[in-house]
Structure 1
């Protein structure tokens, strides 16, 4: 059993949703969302807006292995790997993850075992946001990580939709790098990330 030294523990403050908000109710989604890439429905239409309680989440320095953004058709809109994998293995992983989350019954939880790790995912409109983490990691914390990332994207792009991710993929990667670096959470302040992105925009 691996024992983490106290110095490796870091505390982040998240907004943890009430139990009813943890699972995305897929019955609320229109099956026509994003079937056509010209569809401009925003992801923010599916972000819960009710108040949620504050909670402090402890991360023990474990690493996120990869993050994927995929639509229902299996097209990967964003893929960031924090562990070395061959290209052929990456394609295989993306196919397996997509098949796993798309075909999963919505009555089940938003986390599922994947090989020797665990996939934590949330669906927003026609996009699936998936994280691969260690099997013992805190599922609810990473569900909130995904939600925070979507909120940042929505704020930056002003009602973000799938087309924003397609045509501004370089900005999406910059936002992700401000949020997660080397597989670990670096910044949980939405305001700080948006301000940094604003400074980068001025340099263009």
Structure 2
């Protein structure tokens, strides 16, 4: 079983491409014969984790990919690391705005994704989809769910051979004004990108060596 999640709209937006892409990718993968569950998470600290952990118990997935919107980024971002820090620049959809709080009190400072991010990067580039390995998932609800997911897979709910990680997607094309210069990507391309990552993860047991770091 594969579990894909995206978030509800936040920050005044009426859509969230992470959910649009996750839902569409699940249909692509089902058509290929995979068992897939898609779940829209609330953009709320704490509550999003409760909803995710319930889904982990219900579906017992072997692969979990959570997806979020990173407006302004021009590429699919394969997140490498989740940090144990909530530091919200804006309130979540319930008005919560934690500052310098731990995602998991007393938990590890960070977790690495268990997805083959380098192999996925190579596969996305081969498919002509702009992609990168990102070293930061931020400190908002995206990083919150990423760290909580990896903590669950390592220590608690869903702890097993289940692999998981997080992907950021750009704005969807319809979210940005034409000619405004803000990076965006068609929803269909994002959905195919997620399907590429899933296919790569299912076919890859050990990640490849591929330079994808940054100097700052």
The reply to whether TM is greater than 0.5 is no
Specify the TM-score bucket, using the shorter chain as the normaliser: under 0.3
Question: What TM-score do the two structures reach when normalised by structure 1?
Answer: 0.27
Q: Which has the higher helix share?
A: 1
Please state which structure has a larger fraction of its residues in strand. Answer: 1
